[in-house]
Amino acid sequence: MWAKRTTPEDPVSEASGDATLLRAVAAGHVDALRLLHGRHAPWLRARLARRCADPDVVDAAVQDTFLTVWKDAHRYHDTGADPAAWIWTIAVRRMISVLRGPGHRWLGTAATTAGETVAPSPEELVLLRIEHGDLGDALNRLSPELRAVIQATALDGLTVREAARLLGVPEGTAKTRLMRARARLRELLA
C-alpha cells in the first residue's frame, strides 16, 4: 500500500513545507507522506483524544486520516489554506466516521480490548447530541457556506483565521458568515 506510484527521486526533505509535502504525496511520493505523518500524527492524536475517550477510535481515526491524505492529497489546493487545518478537518471527519461505524456505541461506555470500559468523553456526547438533536437539524438547514464556517469553528475548534484559510475565503468573509450562521441558528432553534 505504501509503495511509490512514481519512480523519480523524492523532491522532499525534513525542511519541506507541508504544502510541498502534500503536492509530493499527490505525486505518489511515500516519503512525503511519512514526513507529514511524523509531523502531524502526534498532535492529531492528542487533540482527538480530548474529543474521544476511546484510544482505539483515536488510533483508527489517525490511521484513516493519513490513508485519506494519501488518496486525496490531489484535492488540497495551495491557496494559502493551512495544510494542518486541512488535515485536522479530515481527522475530525474520520473520527466521526469511526464512531458511527459498526460495533461502536456512542452512548454508555465503549469496550476496550482489555475488557475494561471507557466512559465517553464530553465531546463524544456533544457530537451525538449535535448529530441527532435539534441542532443537527438546524445545521442541516443552513446554506453550505454558513454550515462550513460553523463546523470549522464550533465543531472542529479552528479559529476564524484558520477557518478562513481552510475554506479559501478572506478572514472578513469568514467572520461575516459566522455571524450570519449564528443568527440563522438562533432563528431555527427559537
**Alpha-carbon 44 to chain mean position:** 9
pLDDT average, residue stretch 127-152: 75
Full set of structural domains in the chain with CATH = 18-108+116-189 (1.10.10.10)
Q: Is 98 helix (H, G, I), strand (E, B) or coil?
A: helix
Answer whether residue 15 shows pLDDT above 70: yes
**Distance separating alpha carbons of residues 23 and 88, to the nearest angstrom:** 17
**Distance separating alpha carbons of residues 139 and 8, to the nearest angstrom:** 46
Average pLDDT of the chain? 77
Sequence-distant (≥ 6) Cβ neighbours of residue 136 within 8 angstroms: 129, 130
Query: Is 0.85 surpassed by the pTM of this model?
Result: no
Tens digit of pLDDT for each residue in 23-41? 999 999 999 999 999 999 9
